[in-house]
Amino acid sequence: MVTALKELDIGERLHVFPGCMPSNDSTTRTSQPAFLKALIRQADSLERLSHISGNTQYLPRKCSTFDDDTARLRHLSNLRSLSLGIETMLLTHLQRDDYPASLCELKVMDVSWANNLRGGPEDTLRHPGRVLRHCTEVVKGMSRPIDLSILFSNPNPEQILSTIPTANIALVLQSIIDGLLRTPMYTLSSLLRSSNRHLSLLTSKFSSKNSYIPPYMYGEEVPFEEVFYDSDHFWRVCGVNFRVMDDEVFVEEVKKKPKMACAPCRDRVGRWECYNAGDGSICLHCERDSRIDGREVECVYDVDTGAWGHEVE
Ligand SMILES: [Zn+2]
Ligand SMILES: [Zn+2]
């Protein structure tokens, strides 16, 4: 008797070396419809599927027969959990509203895109927004959105999304990334919340703080996943509440109160604006210093006589 397949992890190579190239023949790859047809042979049993279709520079061209093809993701009638590389054909199926009613969670992995950032620092800065906007398009195509988590393969997106842009670099940054830093994250988070669904953002980390797997003779360390954003705490990234900077309505409310500036911000090099709620709670800079950098800060306030607005030195 054949045992039914319940779980499947299938990943094509992300690293390519001379003399060791991925096949050009699309029929041998998992990015074309024959792969889905093969999966459908396990339609009644498959509950969890993880798929990465490989290095994006070597993916076979997308198949144009998608529309008339009979192999549909929705035929996997017991599928509950999907982990998909952002480059996979299967993610396109979700975007076209093709998935079974049994599906309740989706994890999207950015590793293939992250490995192919060739445009230097600007590409790195744009990357989290690109991933978040792509996932937004996928969710918009789904008539019944499900809980979504996005796993970033390295710590850059987490660092970028938890940045406090100072006045001097905010405009430059906006022009590089086509808008405000965390807007794509809030957009996707709101979209999911409007269907009572959940967004979480995760980073792959190593407990040794190395950002790579060391050679096996030194012991192969397995990465773990750490959540740095959860839509239940809408304005918090890495434990820091960005509402005083990012929520325009709230910021307007705060501006009606007397302007406060904390002692550490008065001492900060460049005289940064003190983003605080005006109620004595910890300011954005101090909260970030203590939560992310682990520094001890004492955020105490005085009324600031300066006018509202960014102070550019
Ligand atoms: Zn402050
Ligand atoms: Zn402070």
Q: Which residues pair with 81 in a beta bridge?
A: 48, 105
- Report, as an integer, the average pLDDT of 177-205: 95
Query: Which bound ligand lies closest to the C-alpha atom of 271?
Result: 1
Q: Is the pLDDT of residue 235 over 90?
A: yes
Query: How far apart are the CA of 276 and the centre of ligand 1, in A?
Result: 7
- What distance in angstroms lies between residue 287's CA and the mean position of ligand 2's atoms? 7
Ligand 1 centroid to Cα of residue 262, in Å, is 4
Mean pLDDT of the chain, nearest integer:
88
Query: Could you tell me the distance, in angstroms and rounded to a whole number, from the CA of residue 270 to the centre of ligand 1?
Result: 13
- The residues, ordered by sequence, that sit 6+ positions from 112 with a Cβ below 8 Å of its Cβ are 14, 52, 53, 54, 55, 56, 85, 86, 87
Confidence of residue 206 (pLDDT cuts 50, 70, 90): confident
Average pLDDT on 52-65 reads: 78
Looking at per-residue pLDDT, the higher value among 33 and 36 belongs to 36
